């Protein structure tokens, strides 16, 4: 009766979930404890939130999530140590507002990573060290972030080295989205290979897994896992959700968004269950190289996608609804009343 997802998958990999304070203190808390054996803080360890000014750290929420996980004997994935997004403005500027030098920025990065990783040493078993550093366009390689503008590509290797020094036992990951799209996959492989060749301490790659009913195809997912595994590193699915709203075709071109929330119909429930079953079939087939699968949020009651037009190809920027429009994505295994969905039964019955 008390059986949860984690129990169905005990011979495969930990089943994780991204959480925030509302999730661990509200009605979803009991469900989290019953179903999952790993947590990732959705936002509360990101640089801008945990380190808002040079001499100030905000540990309260991150600590609360770590305590919750320990109380429930769950693993913890740290997310993340370096990202272009949710990075604090002070990090890149001196007191006159000018961009700092590479030397100053790397010293600040080292201080940040050392402080955060040491605080949770022995508690956080895996870190997303660098998040989304590869560019989305086929003719570019690394994203032109402030990290890149100031440091060139060195910041990536340095981040891994600092994290490894601070906790030699933590598993260190590079994490990215659209990591199954062949051209981006190949750029991610190029980055991973350059790190591995340079003996940088990296253990694995996070495939985020923000997917839809039709994209990416199962073949693309398998190909990507094969390519990453061929580099000799581990793979985790770090941010899985499958929106029912996106109509984006597999090639990423052309979008036919549903402009309003048209609900969660029995037909969508069936399609989503089939889709979840097919991706979990892949994860199970690859259990030797996949060492974790984490969902991005707990239940359809709250998904980060809901305020992003349900995940309609980037919302307003791509011609979908404006960023703040709520279009529910229904992307998870539990419904708005926290009950198990058809998709839940589809991934537990093989
Ligand atoms: O904290 C402020 C709050 O004070 C304010 O009142 C409110 C008003 O909008 O905003 C709050 O900040 C929001 C923050 O989440 C915390 O809730 C930001 O606006 C919002 O942009 C931010 O979104 C997060 C997003 O990362 C930022 O890009 C999502 O919750 C989070 O799920 C999402 O997670 C990312 C992963 O870290 C990396 N991969 C992609 C994934 C989805 O975008």
Cα distances (Å, whole numbers) of residue 156 to 30, 128, 195, 243, 316: 38, 12, 9, 31, 31
> What pLDDT shows up at residue 123?
98
Answer for the pair 146, 179: CB distance below 8 angstroms, yes or no. no
Closest CA to ligand 1's atom 22: 43
Answer for the pair 132, 118: CB distance below 8 angstroms, yes or no. no
Cis preceding-peptide flag for 10 (omega within 30 of 0)? no
**pLDDT tens digits, one per residue of 51-83:** 999 999 999 999 999 999 999 999 999 999 999
Give residue for tokens 């036992």: 169
pTM of the model: 0.94
- 231 Cα: distance to centroid of ligand 1 (angstroms): 32
**pLDDT tens digits, one per residue of 288-302:** 999 999 999 999 999
Model ipTM value:
0.95
- 325 Cα: distance to centroid of ligand 1 (angstroms): 15
Residues of the chain with pLDDT under 50: 248-259, 313-321
Cα distances (Å, whole numbers) of residue 266 to 221, 228, 256: 26, 36, 21
> What pLDDT shows up at residue 24?
97
Q: Which residues contact 129 (CB under 8 A, 6 or more apart)?
A: 80, 81, 82, 113, 159, 160, 163, 172, 173, 174, 202
**3-state secondary structure (DSSP) of residue 13:** coil
Tokens standing for 278?
Answer: 């097919």
Closest CA to ligand 1's atom 13: 43
- 304 Cα: distance to centroid of ligand 1 (angstroms): 7
> What pLDDT shows up at residue 247?
53
Return the closest-CA partner of residue 165 out of 211, 111, 209: 111
Cα distances (Å, whole numbers) of residue 11 to 221, 284, 287, 288: 22, 10, 9, 11
- 216 Cα: distance to centroid of ligand 1 (angstroms): 24
Active-site residue set: 239
Cα–Cα distance for residue pair 19/29, rounded to 1 Å: 10
Q: Is 42 in the pocket of ligand 1 (CB under 6 A)?
A: yes
Q: Measured at the alpha carbon of residue 46, what is the angle toward residues 245 and 338, in degrees to the nearest 5?
A: 45
Q: Is 304 in the pocket of ligand 1 (CB under 6 A)?
A: yes
> What pLDDT shows up at residue 312?
57
Return the closest-CA partner of residue 150 out of 227, 92, 234: 92
Q: Which atom of ligand 1 is least distant from the CA of 297?
A: 32
Ligand 1, residues 43, 47, 209, 312: which to mutate, most atoms within 8 A of Cβ?
43
Closest CA to ligand 1's atom 1: 49
> What pLDDT shows up at residue 325?
61
Q: Is 306 in the pocket of ligand 1 (CB under 6 A)?
A: no
């Amino acid at each position: 009766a008390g059986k949860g997802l984690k129990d169905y998958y005990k011979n495969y990999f930990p089943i994780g979930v991204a959480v925030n304070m509302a999730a661990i203190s509200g009605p979803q808390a009991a469900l989290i404890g019953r179903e999952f054996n790993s947590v990732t803080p959705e936002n509360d360890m990101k640089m801008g939130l945990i380190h808002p000014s040079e001499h100030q750290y905000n540990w309260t929420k991150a600590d609360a999530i770590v305590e919750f996980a320990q109380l429930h004997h769950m693993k913890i994935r740290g997310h993340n140590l370096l990202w272009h997004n949710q990075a604090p403005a002070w990090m890149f500027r001196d007191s006159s507002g000018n961009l700092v030098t590479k030397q100053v920025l790397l010293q600040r990065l080292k201080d940040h990573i050392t402080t955060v990783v040491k605080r949770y040493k022995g508690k956080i078993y895996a870190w997303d060290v660098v998040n989304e550093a590869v560019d989305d366009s086929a003719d570019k390689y690394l994203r032109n972030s402030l990290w890149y503008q100031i440091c060139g590509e060195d910041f990536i290797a340095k981040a891994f080295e600092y994290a490894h020094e601070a906790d030699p036992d933590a598993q260190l990951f590079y994490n990215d989205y659209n990591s199954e799209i062949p051209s981006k996959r190949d750029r991610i492989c190029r980055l991973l290979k350059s790190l591995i060749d340079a003996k940088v301490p990296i253990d694995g790659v996070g495939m985020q897994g923000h997917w839809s009913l039709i994209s990416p195809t199962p073949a693309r997912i398998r190909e990507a896992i094969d390519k990453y595994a061929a580099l000799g590193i581990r793979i985790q699915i770090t941010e899985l959700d499958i929106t029912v709203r996106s109509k984006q075709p597999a090639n990423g071109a052309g979008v036919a968004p549903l402009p309003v929330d048209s609900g969660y119909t029995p037909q969508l429930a069936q399609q989503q269950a089939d889709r979840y079953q097919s991706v979990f079939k892949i994860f199970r087939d690859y259990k030797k190289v996949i060492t974790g699968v984490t969902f991005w949020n707990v239940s359809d009651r709250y998904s980060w996608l809901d305020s992003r037009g349900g995940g309609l190809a980037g919302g307003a920027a791509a011609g979908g609804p404006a960023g703040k429009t709520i279009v529910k994505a229904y992307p998870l295994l539990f419904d708005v009343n926290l009950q198990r969905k058809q998709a839940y039964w589809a991934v537990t019955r093989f």
